[in-house]
C-alpha cells in the first residue's frame, strides 16, 4: 500500500535551487555572497532575480551600485561556495581567502570570478524591498562569459551545485544550522 503524503504547510523548504556566487562592488569595496534564492524570471528581456536579506554586507553594495554578477560554481568549488555563504565580507576578504581572481567585466563595474566557468553580468532593473525576509533584485543580463572549454560544445556540461534547506547542498554533507 502506498503511504499518504504528509502535509508540510506553506514552506519553501523542499524547493531545489541552484547555488550561485554573486559578486558585487561599490565605492572600491568588492565582495562575494553565496545565493540560493535565484532564478530566471524572463527570457526576453533576459532577467534573473536574486533574493538577499538586508542584513547581508552585500545588500548595501548592490543597493548602491545597482549591479551584480552571477558566477556559477562547479561542484568542485563547494568549499569556496560554503565559505562565501558563511563568512561576511565585513570581516574577511573572500576573494583572497578563496584564491579567487577578480577580472574586469565589460558592461558593469563589478568584477567577475575568473575561476567560475560561467559569469553573467547584470544591471538591476527592479528592486522589491517589502516582500518579507529578503529583498528581491531583478537584474537584466548585459553580457555572459563562458569558459572556452565549454563554449565550443554549446552545452553547459558542468555539475552545478543545488540547495534546499532540508538537504543542504545536494549530494554533499553541508547542513546549514541557520536559515538562509
Ligand atoms: C548554500 C547557501 C545559500 C545561501 N543563499 C542565500 C540567499 O539566497 N540569500 C541570502 O540573503 N543569503 C543566503 N545565504 C547566506 C549568505 O550567503 C551569508 O549570510 C553570507 O555570509 C553573507 O555574506 P556578506 O555578509 O558578505 O554579504 C546562503 C548561504 C548558503 C551557504
**Residue 122: CATH number of its domain:** 2.30.110.10
The answer to the question of residue 180 being in a domain is no
Q: How far is the CA of 3 from the centre of ligand 1 (A)?
A: 36
Q: How far is the CA of 14 from the centre of ligand 1 (A)?
A: 18
| Cα 34 to Cα 1, 9, 45, 118, 177, distances in angstroms | 42, 27, 25, 15, 15
The answer to the question of residue 110 being in a domain is yes
| Domain count for the chain | 1
For residue 34, give the ligand 1 atom closest to its CA: 17
Q: Which residue lies with its CA nearest to atom 9 of ligand 1?
A: 52
Structural domain span for residue 65: 17-169
Contact between 116 and 22 under an 8 Å Cβ cutoff? The reply is no
pTM of the model: 0.93
At residue 179, does pLDDT exceed 70?
A: no
Question: Greater confidence, 161 or 58?
Answer: 58
The answer to the question of residue 73 being in a domain is yes
The answer to the question of residue 1 being in a domain is no
Q: Which residue lies with its CA nearest to atom 6 of ligand 1?
A: 35
The answer to the question of residue 60 being in a domain is yes
pLDDT digits (tens, 9 = 90+) for 112-147: 999 999 999 999 999 999 999 999 999 999 999 998
Amino acid at each position: 500500500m502506498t503511504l499518504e503524503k504528509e502535509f508540510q504547510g506553506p514552506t519553501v523548504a523542499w524547493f531545489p535551487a541552484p547555488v550561485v556566487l554573486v559578486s558585487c562592488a561599490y565605492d572600491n569595496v568588492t565582495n562575494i555572497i553565496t545565493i540560493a534564492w535565484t532564478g530566471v524570471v524572463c527570457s526576453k528581456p533576459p532577467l534573473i532575480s536574486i533574493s538577499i536579506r538586508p542584513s547581508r554586507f552585500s545588500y548595501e553594495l548592490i543597493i548602491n551600485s545597482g549591479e551584480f554578477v552571477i558566477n556559477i560554481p562547479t561542484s568542485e568549488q563547494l568549499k569556496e561556495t560554503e565559505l562565501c555563504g558563511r563568512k561576511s565580507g565585513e570581516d574577511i576578504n573572500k576573494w583572497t581567502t578563496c584564491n579567487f581572481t577578480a577580472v574586469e567585466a565589460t558592461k558593469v563595474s563589478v568584477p567577475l570570478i575568473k575561476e567560475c566557468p560561467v559569469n553573467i553580468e547584470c544591471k538591476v532593473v527592479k528592486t522589491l524591498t517589502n516582500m518579507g525576509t529578503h529583498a528581491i533584485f531583478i537584474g537584466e543580463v548585459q553580457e555572459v562569459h563562458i569558459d572556452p572549454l565549454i563554449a565550443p560544445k554549446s552545452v553547459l556540461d558542468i555539475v552545478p551545485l543545488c540547495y534546499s534547506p532540508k538537504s543542504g547542498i545536494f549530494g554533499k554533507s553541508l547542513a546549514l544550522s541557520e536559515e538562509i
